[in-house]
A and B are shown apart, each in its own frame.
Chain A
Amino acid sequence: SQQGEEDPQALSIQEGENATMNCSYKTSINNLQWYRQNSGRGLVHLILIRSNEREKHSGRLRVTLDTSKKSSSLLITASRAADTASYFCATDTSSGYSTLTFGKGTMLLVSP
Protein backbone atom coordinates (compact mmCIF):
# COMPACT_ATOMS: atom_id res chain seq x y z
CA SER A 1 0.00 0.00 0.00
CA GLN A 2 1.16 3.53 -0.69
CA GLN A 3 2.48 5.29 2.39
CA GLY A 4 3.06 8.65 0.72
CA GLU A 5 0.72 10.48 -1.59
CA GLU A 6 1.91 13.45 -3.60
CA ASP A 7 -0.21 16.40 -4.55
CA PRO A 8 -0.73 17.61 -7.21
CA GLN A 9 -0.39 14.71 -9.63
CA ALA A 10 0.79 17.12 -12.31
CA LEU A 11 2.07 20.69 -12.27
CA SER A 12 2.83 22.97 -15.20
CA ILE A 13 4.71 26.25 -14.69
CA GLN A 14 6.91 28.75 -16.54
CA GLU A 15 10.65 29.03 -16.11
CA GLY A 16 11.54 31.27 -13.20
CA GLU A 17 8.42 30.41 -11.21
CA ASN A 18 8.45 28.41 -8.00
CA ALA A 19 7.08 24.88 -7.87
CA THR A 20 5.57 23.39 -4.73
CA MET A 21 4.74 19.73 -4.29
CA ASN A 22 3.15 18.17 -1.25
CA CYS A 23 3.36 14.72 0.26
CA SER A 24 1.11 13.19 2.88
CA TYR A 25 1.79 9.94 4.69
CA LYS A 26 0.00 7.68 7.11
CA THR A 27 2.34 6.26 9.77
CA SER A 28 5.22 7.53 11.87
CA ILE A 29 8.49 7.86 9.99
CA ASN A 30 12.22 7.90 10.62
CA ASN A 31 12.83 10.17 7.67
CA LEU A 32 11.25 11.36 4.46
CA GLN A 33 13.14 11.60 1.20
CA TRP A 34 12.49 13.25 -2.14
CA TYR A 35 13.65 11.76 -5.42
CA ARG A 36 13.58 13.01 -9.01
CA GLN A 37 13.04 10.84 -12.05
CA ASN A 38 13.66 12.09 -15.54
CA SER A 39 11.64 10.36 -18.23
CA GLY A 40 12.80 6.79 -18.75
CA ARG A 41 15.62 7.07 -16.22
CA GLY A 42 16.38 5.88 -12.71
CA LEU A 43 15.60 7.88 -9.60
CA VAL A 44 18.02 10.40 -8.20
CA HIS A 45 18.06 11.32 -4.52
CA LEU A 46 17.42 15.01 -3.87
CA ILE A 47 17.10 15.58 -0.16
CA LEU A 48 16.38 13.78 3.11
CA ILE A 49 14.66 15.24 6.16
CA ARG A 50 14.60 13.41 9.46
CA SER A 51 11.58 13.18 11.73
CA ASN A 52 13.11 15.60 14.23
CA GLU A 53 13.77 18.25 11.58
CA ARG A 54 11.27 20.81 10.36
CA GLU A 55 13.00 22.38 7.38
CA LYS A 56 15.96 21.66 5.17
CA HIS A 57 17.58 23.44 2.24
CA SER A 58 19.75 22.25 -0.62
CA GLY A 59 20.51 24.74 -3.35
CA ARG A 60 17.16 25.75 -4.91
CA LEU A 61 15.32 23.06 -2.94
CA ARG A 62 13.50 23.62 0.32
CA VAL A 63 11.78 20.79 2.15
CA THR A 64 9.52 21.12 5.14
CA LEU A 65 8.16 18.41 7.39
CA ASP A 66 5.16 18.61 9.70
CA THR A 67 4.98 15.36 11.65
CA SER A 68 1.80 16.43 13.45
CA LYS A 69 0.03 16.67 10.09
CA LYS A 70 2.04 13.81 8.56
CA SER A 71 2.93 15.96 5.60
CA SER A 72 5.92 17.35 3.74
CA SER A 73 6.41 19.85 0.98
CA LEU A 74 9.11 20.30 -1.62
CA LEU A 75 9.68 23.78 -2.99
CA ILE A 76 11.81 24.32 -6.08
CA THR A 77 12.64 28.00 -6.49
CA ALA A 78 13.36 29.75 -9.79
CA SER A 79 12.47 26.67 -11.83
CA ARG A 80 14.33 25.80 -15.00
CA ALA A 81 13.31 23.71 -17.99
CA ALA A 82 15.83 21.11 -16.78
CA ASP A 83 13.71 20.64 -13.64
CA THR A 84 11.05 18.95 -15.78
CA ALA A 85 10.72 15.49 -14.23
CA SER A 86 8.62 13.40 -11.89
CA TYR A 87 9.17 13.94 -8.19
CA PHE A 88 8.54 11.26 -5.59
CA CYS A 89 8.43 11.36 -1.85
CA ALA A 90 9.53 8.24 -0.02
CA THR A 91 9.07 7.47 3.64
CA ASP A 92 11.36 5.37 5.76
CA THR A 93 9.59 3.70 8.65
CA SER A 94 12.12 0.94 9.30
CA SER A 95 14.80 0.52 11.90
CA GLY A 96 18.28 -0.26 10.73
CA TYR A 97 18.57 -0.30 6.97
CA SER A 98 16.37 1.98 4.94
CA THR A 99 13.21 0.43 3.53
CA LEU A 100 11.43 3.06 1.52
CA THR A 101 7.77 3.35 0.59
CA PHE A 102 7.17 5.61 -2.39
CA GLY A 103 4.26 7.77 -3.37
CA LYS A 104 2.86 7.95 -6.88
CA GLY A 105 4.73 11.10 -7.77
CA THR A 106 4.13 14.60 -9.11
CA MET A 107 4.91 15.23 -12.75
CA LEU A 108 6.42 18.70 -13.13
CA LEU A 109 6.61 20.44 -16.50
CA VAL A 110 8.61 23.65 -16.69
CA SER A 111 8.13 25.53 -19.93
CA PRO A 112 10.76 27.95 -21.30
Chain B
Amino acid sequence: NAGVTQTPKFQVLKTGQSMTLQCAQDMNHEYMSWYRQDPGMGLRLIHYSVGAGITDQGEVPNGYNVSRSTTEDFPLRLLSAAPSQTSVYFCASSGAGYDEQFFGPGTRLTVL
Protein backbone atom coordinates (compact mmCIF):
# COMPACT_ATOMS: atom_id res chain seq x y z
CA ASN B 1 0.00 0.00 0.00
CA ALA B 2 1.18 3.51 -0.83
CA GLY B 3 -0.79 4.95 2.11
CA VAL B 4 -1.61 8.65 1.69
CA THR B 5 -0.05 10.36 -1.31
CA GLN B 6 0.03 14.05 -2.12
CA THR B 7 0.96 15.92 -5.27
CA PRO B 8 2.73 18.15 -5.99
CA LYS B 9 5.47 18.22 -3.36
CA PHE B 10 6.31 21.83 -4.07
CA GLN B 11 4.38 24.61 -5.80
CA VAL B 12 4.93 28.32 -6.37
CA LEU B 13 1.93 30.45 -7.32
CA LYS B 14 1.36 34.09 -8.03
CA THR B 15 -1.31 35.99 -6.15
CA GLY B 16 -4.70 35.39 -7.73
CA GLN B 17 -3.85 32.10 -9.38
CA SER B 18 -5.87 28.99 -8.65
CA MET B 19 -4.71 25.44 -8.21
CA THR B 20 -5.67 22.05 -6.84
CA LEU B 21 -3.66 20.05 -4.34
CA GLN B 22 -4.20 16.35 -4.83
CA CYS B 23 -4.59 13.77 -2.09
CA ALA B 24 -5.25 10.07 -2.49
CA GLN B 25 -5.31 7.10 -0.14
CA ASP B 26 -5.46 3.39 -0.89
CA MET B 27 -6.51 2.15 2.55
CA ASN B 28 -10.27 2.43 1.93
CA HIS B 29 -10.51 5.02 4.70
CA GLU B 30 -13.78 6.88 5.00
CA TYR B 31 -12.39 9.91 6.83
CA MET B 32 -10.05 12.35 5.10
CA SER B 33 -8.88 15.79 6.11
CA TRP B 34 -6.69 18.71 5.08
CA TYR B 35 -4.45 20.64 7.46
CA ARG B 36 -2.10 23.52 7.00
CA GLN B 37 1.07 23.93 9.03
CA ASP B 38 2.62 27.32 9.56
CA PRO B 39 5.83 28.01 11.50
CA GLY B 40 5.18 27.96 15.22
CA MET B 41 1.47 27.29 14.74
CA GLY B 42 1.12 23.52 14.69
CA LEU B 43 -1.49 22.05 12.34
CA ARG B 44 -4.86 23.64 11.70
CA LEU B 45 -7.80 21.83 10.13
CA ILE B 46 -9.05 23.30 6.85
CA HIS B 47 -11.75 20.88 5.65
CA TYR B 48 -12.64 17.28 6.27
CA SER B 49 -14.83 14.56 4.80
CA VAL B 50 -16.48 11.58 6.47
CA GLY B 51 -17.25 9.82 3.20
CA ALA B 52 -17.86 10.28 -0.50
CA GLY B 53 -20.16 13.24 -1.08
CA ILE B 54 -19.86 14.54 2.50
CA THR B 55 -17.56 17.42 3.47
CA ASP B 56 -17.42 19.94 6.27
CA GLN B 57 -15.39 22.95 7.34
CA GLY B 58 -12.62 22.93 9.86
CA GLU B 59 -10.98 25.78 11.73
CA VAL B 60 -9.58 27.73 8.75
CA PRO B 61 -11.74 27.03 5.64
CA ASN B 62 -11.77 30.45 3.99
CA GLY B 63 -10.18 30.54 0.54
CA TYR B 64 -10.35 26.77 0.08
CA ASN B 65 -12.84 24.40 -1.52
CA VAL B 66 -13.06 20.62 -1.32
CA SER B 67 -15.15 17.86 -2.83
CA ARG B 68 -15.17 14.11 -2.31
CA SER B 69 -16.50 12.21 -5.31
CA THR B 70 -14.68 8.95 -4.48
CA THR B 71 -13.47 7.27 -1.31
CA GLU B 72 -9.87 7.45 -2.51
CA ASP B 73 -9.49 11.11 -3.50
CA PHE B 74 -9.89 14.36 -1.61
CA PRO B 75 -8.57 17.36 -3.58
CA LEU B 76 -8.12 20.81 -2.06
CA ARG B 77 -8.73 23.79 -4.32
CA LEU B 78 -7.33 27.25 -3.82
CA LEU B 79 -9.70 29.57 -5.60
CA SER B 80 -7.57 32.73 -5.73
CA ALA B 81 -4.22 32.28 -4.04
CA ALA B 82 -3.05 34.86 -1.50
CA PRO B 83 0.34 35.23 0.22
CA SER B 84 -1.37 34.29 3.51
CA GLN B 85 -1.90 30.81 2.05
CA THR B 86 1.84 30.20 1.90
CA SER B 87 2.15 27.10 4.06
CA VAL B 88 2.76 23.38 4.14
CA TYR B 89 -0.40 21.40 3.47
CA PHE B 90 -0.99 17.93 4.82
CA CYS B 91 -3.67 15.46 3.92
CA ALA B 92 -4.65 12.73 6.38
CA SER B 93 -7.03 9.80 6.50
CA SER B 94 -8.43 7.40 9.05
CA GLY B 95 -10.71 4.40 8.95
CA ALA B 96 -14.09 3.92 10.57
CA GLY B 97 -13.71 3.01 14.20
CA TYR B 98 -10.06 4.06 14.29
CA ASP B 99 -8.93 7.33 15.79
CA GLU B 100 -5.35 7.60 14.60
CA GLN B 101 -4.77 9.50 11.40
CA PHE B 102 -2.34 8.64 8.63
CA PHE B 103 -0.62 11.61 7.07
CA GLY B 104 0.72 12.26 3.60
CA PRO B 105 4.19 13.74 3.03
CA GLY B 106 2.88 17.27 2.50
CA THR B 107 2.81 19.94 -0.20
CA ARG B 108 4.93 23.04 0.34
CA LEU B 109 3.11 25.99 -1.25
CA THR B 110 4.53 29.47 -1.75
CA VAL B 111 2.32 32.30 -2.96
CA LEU B 112 4.17 35.34 -4.25
Contact = CB atoms under 8 A, between A and B. Distances in A.
Chain A's interface size range is 20 to 34
B41 interface: yes
A28 B20 CA distance: 36
B45 interface: yes
A107 to B, nearest CB: 10
Chain B's interface size range is 20 to 34
A20 B4 CA distance: 30
Nearest to B96: A97
Interface string B79-103: 0000000000010101010111111
A45 B102 contact: yes
Interface string B22-44: 00000000110101000011111
Given A98-B31, A104-B40, A104-B42, A42 B99 contact: no
A27 interface: no
B42 A42 contact: no
Contacts of A101: 45, 59
Contacts of B31: 97-98
Interface of B: 4, 30-31, 33, 35, 40-45, 48, 50, 58-59, 90, 92, 94, 96, 98-106
5 contacts: A43-B90, A97-B96, A98-B99, A100-B45, A102-B44
Interface of A: 1-2, 30-31, 33, 35, 40-45, 48, 88, 90, 92, 96-105
